[in-house]
Amino acid sequence: MNVCYAVNEPISREQFVTLLNQTSLGERRPVDDDECITGMLNNSNLMITAWQGEQLVGIARSVTDFSYACYLSDLAVHENYQRLGIGRELMRQTQKQLGKRCKLILIAAPAANEYYEPLGFEQNERCWVLPAGKRIV
């Protein structure tokens, strides 16, 4: 299998949603909200994509300062292409774009929580999330 990787290759909203729906992320992302999906794509400043020919089969979508912190917001690999090392390579390609002091930060999907430790990630119990719509008191 010949999978090609690209840095900041533009993708359409439709390609992104189609990929998300072929993964477990589709149920936890606003795939029916065009404005939100468009904002997710337009405001990411680092996207590594994996391609099998013309088909988008994986993405690592991040927001980063490239120097200190990179938040890997979405790591998605099409269900037919999982367990082939694509997710690992997407993260490696992401890390290659970052400065030597830049840490990679992510929130694991429940089904993928065990995936990251063998790759060298350390679990951090100090992460806090303020859900959308909830106000800071």
pLDDT at 24: 86
How deeply is 23 buried, as exposed, middle or buried, from its count of CB atoms within 10 A (0-12, 13-18, 19+)? buried
Classify residue 137: in a domain, yes or no. no
Classify residue 37: in a domain, yes or no. yes
Classify residue 80: in a domain, yes or no. yes
Looking at the chain, the whole-number percentage of residues with pLDDT higher than 90 is 85
| Alpha carbon distance 13, 127 (integer Å) | 29
pLDDT at 26: 86
Residue 134: pLDDT band by 50, 70, 90 thresholds? Answer: very high
Number of domains making up the chain: 1
Residue 1 has pLDDT above 90, yes or no: no
Classify residue 124: in a domain, yes or no. no
Domain that holds residue 59: 4-119
Classify residue 11: in a domain, yes or no. yes
Residue at 107: amino acid letter:
I
Q: Do residues 82 and 26 make contact, with C-beta atoms less than 8 angstroms apart?
A: no
Question: Tens digit of pLDDT for each residue in 2-47?
Answer: 999 999 999 999 999 999 999 988 888 999 999 999 999 999 999 9
Of 63, 62, 57, 46, whose CA–CA distance to 9 is shortest? 46
Classify residue 135: in a domain, yes or no. no
The DSSP line for 19-47 is HHHTSGGGGTS-TT-HHHHHHHHHT-SEE
The enclosing domain of 46 has a CATH number of 3.40.630.30
Average pLDDT over residues 110-134: 90
Do β-strands 46-52 and 4-7 pair in parallel, antiparallel, or remain unpaired?
antiparallel
pLDDT at 112: 83
